[in-house]
Amino acid sequence: MKEQLLLLHGALGSIKQFGFIKESLEESFDVFAINFEGHGGDETSNEFSIQLFTENVIDYIKENSKGETNIFGCSMGGYVALNVALKIPLKIKKSLL
């Protein structure tokens, strides 16, 4: 069974940024990515914050993860990855920036 890897985009980005990288990593990892709330064409009435995006990721991990997850965050996604690791350390294997 492959390790899980969650890709987190930067500010005002989307999962579309990870197309080529995601394909390259799929040989070694079970790769998934999410758009933060209000990104990638999704609308939100909530104010953008690291806390909001952290909750987006935690909710996603709780609903979709099987075991520990590795997280790679690009730019703002890196801040979110670190915050997620602080909040649910037992669900996170590594946070990479």
Q: Is-above-0.75 flag for pTM?
A: yes
Hey, what's the torsion of the CAs at 54, 57, 60, 64, to 10 degrees? Answer: -130
Q: How far apart are CA 95 and CA 5, in angstroms?
A: 10
Tens digits of residue pLDDT in 25-54: 999 999 999 999 998 888 898 999 999 999
Q: Which helix (H) or strand (E) holds 63?
A: helix 50-64
In the block, tokens 């799929």 appear at 26
Please give the domain boundaries of the chain with CATH numbers for all domains.
3-96 (3.40.50.1820)
